[in-house]
C-alpha cells in the first residue's frame, strides 16, 4: 500500500493596511511636478476625476502650483492638474473609533486673491468643505466616527475649471479607540452558578455574564462587547471582535482579546493579557 502524504500550505496573515504617505513623498519626482490622471496610483493614493472630467488629474512634486510645498524641498499635491481632480486612500480602521484628520492647505500661485477650495470626504458621507486664500499654508482638520473595518479618505478640488487649484500637504489620521460599553453594574444577560461555568457565545450581542465564584470560562465567537464578572476563582474570557472586559477577584484571571478595546481588572493574583496588536490596554 502506498502512503499518501498531503501538504497543506497556510496563507500568511494579511499585512495591516495603515494610513500612509500623508506627506506625498512617493514617488520621488525628477522635475518640479508630474501630472497624474484618473485611476493612476500615487503611492498609496489613487487619483480620480471630478465633475465629469474625462481624465481629471493632479500635479505632484516639489512645486506643483508655483507655491513652495509646506516643507522646502519636500513634495505636495495640487488637486487641479489639467482639470479638477481628487485623490483617495483606503486604510484599515476599527468600528467605533473616533478619528481626526489634519492637513495643510494652500493654493496655486495663479489663483492670487481668488482663493481655492476643496472637499474632504469619508466613504460616502457628506463632504466637508474647506477653503484657503492668499499665500502661505493654513492647517485644517475634521473628525469622524469609524463605521467599518476599512475607511476611504478623499480630497477633491471644488475649483471646477482650469489647472490651478488647492494644494494639500502633510495629511495625518489619528484614531482614538472607543471605551468598553458595559461594566459589572450593567444588567446581566446571563447568570452563571457558584460552581465552574463554561459558556460559548455566538449571538453577537453585548453580553454581561455573572460568573459568581468558581472557575469560569467564556468564549465569545460574536462581535458584541462582552463583560465577564468572574468573582473569585480562575476566570478566562476569550473575546471576539468588540470591546471585551473581564472583572475578576482574587486568583488568576486571563483575558484573550480580539479586535476592539479590551480591559482586564483582575484583582490580586496572577493576571494575564493576550491582546490583539490593535488593542489599547486599559488597566491591563
Strand 58-61 and strand 76-78: the pairing is antiparallel
Helices (H), 45-129: none
CA–CA separation, 88 and 261 (whole Å)? 28
* pLDDT confidence tier of residue 38, bands split at 50, 70 and 90: very high
Among residues 96, 93, 99, 91, the alpha carbon closest in space to that of 243 is found at 96
The domain locations on the chain are 33-176, 190-276
User: Over 22-69, what HEC string results?
Assistant: CCCCCCCCCCCEEEECCCCEECCEEEEECCCCCCCCEEEECCCCCCCC
First-to-final CA distance of the chain: 56
Query: Bridge-partner residues for 238, per DSSP?
Result: 219, 256
Could you give the percent of the chain with pLDDT greater than 90? 45
Report the length, in residues, of the chain: 284
CB 89 within 8 A of CB 44: yes
Please give the model's pTM, rounded to 2 decimal places. 0.66
Whole-angstrom Cα distance, residue 196 to residue 22?
A: 52
Closest CA to 264 of 215, 238, 241, 240: 238
Count of CA atoms in the C-beta half-sphere (13 A) of 255: 31
Predicted pLDDT of residue 268: 62
pLDDT the model gives residue 8: 33
Pairwise CA distance, residues 175 & 116, whole Å:
28
Higher per-residue pLDDT: 145 or 227: 145
The pLDDT, as a whole number, for residue 4 is 36
Residue 185 has pLDDT above 60, yes or no: yes
Buried b / exposed e along 4-33 (16+ C-beta atoms within 10 A): eeeeeeeeeeeeeeebeebbbeeeeeeeeb
Q: Beta strand pairing status for 197-201 and 216-220?
A: parallel
What's the pLDDT at 70? 94
pLDDT of 197-244, one tens digit each?
A: 777 777 667 777 777 777 777 777 667 777 878 777 777 777 777 777
pLDDT reported for residue 224: 72
CB of 143 within 8 A of CB of 101? yes
Question: Grid coordinates 486599559 are at which residue?
Answer: 282
**The predicted structure's pLDDT at residue 195:** 75
Name the band, by pLDDT with cuts 50, 70 and 90, for residue 13. very low
CATH 1.10.10.10 fits 33-176, yes or no: no
CB 38 within 8 A of CB 48: yes
Q: How far apart are CA 136 and CA 124, in angstroms?
A: 31
What confidence tier does 6 reach under pLDDT thresholds 50, 70, 90?
very low
Of residues 168 and 210, the one with the higher pLDDT is 168
Amino acid at each position: 500500500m502506498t502512503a499518501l502524504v498531503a501538504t497543506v500550505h497556510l496563507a500568511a496573515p494579511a499585512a495591516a493596511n495603515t494610513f500612509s504617505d500623508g506627506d506625498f513623498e512617493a514617488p520621488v519626482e525628477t522635475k518640479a511636478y508630474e501630472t497624474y490622471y484618473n485611476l493612476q496610483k500615487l503611492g498609496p493614493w489613487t487619483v480620480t476625476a471630478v465633475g465629469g472630467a474625462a481624465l481629471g488629474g493632479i500635479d505632484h512634486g516639489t512645486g506643483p502650483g508655483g507655491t513652495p510645498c509646506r516643507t522646502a524641498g519636500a513634495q505636495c499635491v495640487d488637486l487641479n492638474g489639467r482639470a479638477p481632480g481628487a485623490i483617495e486612500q483606503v486604510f484599515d480602521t476599527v468600528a467605533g473609533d473616533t478619528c481626526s484628520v489634519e492637513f495643510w492647505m494652500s493654493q496655486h500661485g495663479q489663483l492670487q486673491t481668488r482663493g481655492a477650495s476643496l472637499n474632504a470626504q469619508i466613504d460616502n458621507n457628506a463632504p466637508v468643505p474647506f477653503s484657503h486664500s492668499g499665500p502661505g499654508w493654513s492647517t485644517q482638520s475634521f473628525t469622524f466616527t469609524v463605521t467599518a473595518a476599512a475607511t476611504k479618505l478623499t480630497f477633491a478640488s471644488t475649483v471646477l475649471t482650469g489647472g490651478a487649484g488647492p494644494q494639500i500637504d502633510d495629511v495625518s489620521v489619528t484614531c482614538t479607540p472607543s471605551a468598553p460599553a458595559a461594566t459589572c453594574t450593567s444588567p446581566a444577560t446571563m447568570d452563571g452558578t457558584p460552581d465552574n461555568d463554561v459558556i460559548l457565545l455566538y449571538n453577537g450581542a453585548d453580553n454581561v455574564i455573572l460568573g459568581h465564584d468558581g472557575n469560569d470560562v467564556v468564549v465569545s465567537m460574536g462581535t458584541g462587547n462582552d463583560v465577564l464578572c468572574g468573582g473569585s476563582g480562575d476566570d478566562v474570557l476569550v473575546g471576539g471582535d468588540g470591546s471585551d472586559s473581564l472583572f475578576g477577584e482574587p486568583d488568576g484571571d486571563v483575558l484573550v482579546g480580539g479586535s476592539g478595546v479590551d480591559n482586564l481588572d483582575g484583582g490580586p493574583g496572577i493576571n494575564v493579557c493576550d491582546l490583539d496588536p490593535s488593542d489599547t490596554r486599559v488597566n491591563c
